[in-house]
């Protein structure tokens, strides 16, 4: 019998990714966020919805992930630490044998949960802190007052507690000149990875000033610099989205076709492609009661699935010769 979820009808057999294709699951446990970053890929309506994931539903996702051979689960939001069951969710996933990654803007509650012992450092495999620049004025202009303070204070807490951490950079034009200094800071602070993202033009980011979006030549120059960078040690590297394809370069992979990615929203809607996650109606899958099932969305993100990963007709990535957002270039690690 079909079941309803908002405007979607749940029907059909449970779905599973190809064995070994999915290694990590991203779970957006709450739409609540203390920030409205001007380049966020999620829409304003997501944050005003007030939707939070029930811990029982989260437990079902953990069990499903284990059954699929997934080794890591990522907690996101909004700001995930604002969920009242955040600490319990971290503990639950860890106790079930999953690595637990958290993406945070550094909210003070996240720091307090670690400092008070509610979230144990050993339960966190790594934490990604949203931090774009060493310039407080620039950081706060894009993410809101106090964003720079939150990020830097959170990095100090992670350092003090021996938690492995990454720095997530949204590379708008205003931060590009300061990237070398930020990378040096991150390496000296004990960061594991600096992860450089293309600034989003979806969700809230749709209204981002066009002058802040790097052009193709600028981005490809930055990508080449990352690829040629030789890091000083084996415990640190820089990674960047490829951004653009060369004239004769095919799309090397497709998250939809390969089922290499799964993003689950607070209401259970699930996306295989992050470029579609700002459109709730594009969800072709939904997670409910520990099962991933198809919906009767019309036809949702499935309309982009083609027979070949190199030819996804209508894919929003291939327009303008953009590379897939999951296609990354990493810095060199000396032998």
pLDDT in tens, 123-132: 999 999 999 9
Interatomic CA distance for residues 187 and 195, integer angstroms: 12
Q: Is 80 exceeded by the pLDDT of residue 9?
A: no
> 201-212 pLDDT, tens per residue?
889 999 999 999
Identify the residue with better confidence: 115 or 313. 115
Task: Look at residue 307 in the predicted model and tell me its pLDDT.
Answer: 46
Q: How confident is the model at residue 303 (pLDDT cuts 50, 70, 90)?
A: confident
pLDDT the model gives residue 5: 55
- For the stretch 138-159, pLDDT in tens is 999 999 999 999 999 999 999 9
> What span, in angstroms and rounded, lies between the C-alpha atoms of 217 and 139?
24
pLDDT at 27: 98
Alpha carbon distances (Å) from 12 to 58, 270, 292, 294:
22, 15, 10, 6
Predicted local confidence at residue 202, as pLDDT: 87
Residue 312 pLDDT level (bands cut at 50, 70, 90): low
pLDDT greater than 60 at residue 310: no
- Among 62-71, 281-290, 325-334, name the one with the lowest average pLDDT: 325-334
Q: Percentages helix, strand, coil for the chain, rounded to the nearest 5?
A: 35, 20, 45
The percentage of the chain sitting over the pLDDT mark of 70, rounded to a whole number, equals 90
Host H or E run for residue 286: strand 285-288
pLDDT above 50 for 272: yes
Residue 306 has pLDDT above 70, yes or no: no
Question: Which tens digits make up the pLDDT trace of 253-271?
Answer: 778 878 889 999 999 999 9
Q: What's the mean pLDDT when you consider all of the chain?
A: 89
Handedness of CA 218, 103, 107, 161 (dihedral sign): negative
Which CATH superfamily hosts domain 3-330? Aldolase class I (3.20.20.70)
Question: Residue 155 and residue 153: Cα distance in Å, rounded?
Answer: 5
Alpha helices in 97-161 (DSSP H): 108-115, 136-143, 147-160
Cβ 246 vs Cβ 205: under 8 Å: no
Q: Is the pLDDT of residue 297 over 90?
A: no
- For strand 126-130 and strand 165-170, is the pairing parallel, antiparallel, or unpaired? parallel
Q: What is the DSSP letter of 275?
A: G
- Inform me whether the pLDDT recorded for 322 exceeds 80: no
pLDDT of residue 288: 93
């Amino acid at each position: 019998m079909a079941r309803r979820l908002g405007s979607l009808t749940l029907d059909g057999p449970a779905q599973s990714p190809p064995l070994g294709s999915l290694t990590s699951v991203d779970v957006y446990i709450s739409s609540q966020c203390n920030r409205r970053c001007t380049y966020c890929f999620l829409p304003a309506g997501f944050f005003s919805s007030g939707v939070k994931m029930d811990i029982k539903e989260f437990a079902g996702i953990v069990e499903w992930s284990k059954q699929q051979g997934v080794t890591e689960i990522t907690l996101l939001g909004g700001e995930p630490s604002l969920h009242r069951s955040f600490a319990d969710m971290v503990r639950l996933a860890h106790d079930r044998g999953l690595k637990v990654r958290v993406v945070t803007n550094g909210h003070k509650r996240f720091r307090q949960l670690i400092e008070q012992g509610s979230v144990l450092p050993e339960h966190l495999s790594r934490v990604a802190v949203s931090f774009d620049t060493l310039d407080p004025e620039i950081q706060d202009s894009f993410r809101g007052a106090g964003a720079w303070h939150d990020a830097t204070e959170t990095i100090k807490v992670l350092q003090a507690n021996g938690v492995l951490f990454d720095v997530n950079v949204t590379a708008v034009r205003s931060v590009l000149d300061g990237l070398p200094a930020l990378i040096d800071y991150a390496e000296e602070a004990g960061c594991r990875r600096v992860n450089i993202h293309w600034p989003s033009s979806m969700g809230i980011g749709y209204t981002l000033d066009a002058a802040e979006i790097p052009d193709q030549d600028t981005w490809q120059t930055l990508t080449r610099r990352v690829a040629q960078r030789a890091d000083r040690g084996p415990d640190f590297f820089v990674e960047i989205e490829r951004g653009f394809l060369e004239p004769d370069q095919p799309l090397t992979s497709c998250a939809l076709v390969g089922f290499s990615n799964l993003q689950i929203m607070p209401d259970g809607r699930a996306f295989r492609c992050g470029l579609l996650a700002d459109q709730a109606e594009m969800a072709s899958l939904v997670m409910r009661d520990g099962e991933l099932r198809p919906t009767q969305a019309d036809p949702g993100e499935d309309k982009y699935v083609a027979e070949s990963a190199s030819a996804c007709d209508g894919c929003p990535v291939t327009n303008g010769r953009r590379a897939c957002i999951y296609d990354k270039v990493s810095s060199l690690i000396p032998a």
